[in-house]
Amino acid sequence: MAVHEKIKLIRHLKGWSQEDVAEKLDMSVNGYGSIERGETNVSLARLEQIAELFGIELSELIALNEKNMLYMSGAYSTGRQQNQYNCVVNANESNSQHSHELEKLQLIIEWKDNQILMKDQEILNLKKIISLLETVNKVE
């Protein structure tokens, strides 16, 4: 069962409407609905919020409940950045499916690296703004 299907199922079991959950997550009903329909990539932070709201562990929300599953977790370093990865592998899948999963994980890692770079740039920009504001305040 896909994560978005599990989210919808748990919401139904709790007797909540999409509006109820969207409000509790402080997001739009359309945004939440797109999560349940699997139309959007959900961030880890949002999945953690959803799991907390449902009163379950994140691992329960994303667990695939299949036999012969292998969960791998680790870290690697790229220069000054430390990156972590998590991977679930079904021993019953073909090698091409494993390759596909690895490609997806690599894309996720690249996306996260880009997010970190954008945040670093934003921090530099904010530091420049602070410096300019301090200069203006000294002149006044």
In the block, tokens 């679930």 appear at 88
pLDDT score of 29: 95
Q: In the listed set 36, 62, 88, which residue is the last one of a domain according to the structure?
A: 62
Q: How many domains does the chain have?
A: 2
Angle at 34 between CA 107 and CA 10, to 5 degrees: 100
Interval 29-70: pLDDT, tens: 999 999 999 998 898 999 999 999 998 888 888 874 544 344
Cα distance between residue 1 and residue 72, in whole Å = 20
Question: Are 15 and 42 within one domain?
Answer: yes
Same domain, 88 and 58: no
Query: Are both 84 and 55 inside the same structural domain?
Result: no
Q: Residue 54 is part of which domain span?
A: 3-62
| Burial (CB count within 10 angstroms: exposed 0-12, middle 13-18, buried 19+), residue 47 | middle
Handedness of CA 36, 55, 116, 133 (dihedral sign): positive
Give per-residue pLDDT as tens, 81-138: 555 555 554 444 444 556 677 777 878 888 888 889 999 999 999 999 999 999 988 8
pLDDT at 56: 86
Using the 3D structure, point to which of 39, 62, 85 is the last residue of a domain. Answer: 62
pTM (global) more than 0.85: no
Note whether 100 and 127 are same-domain residues: yes
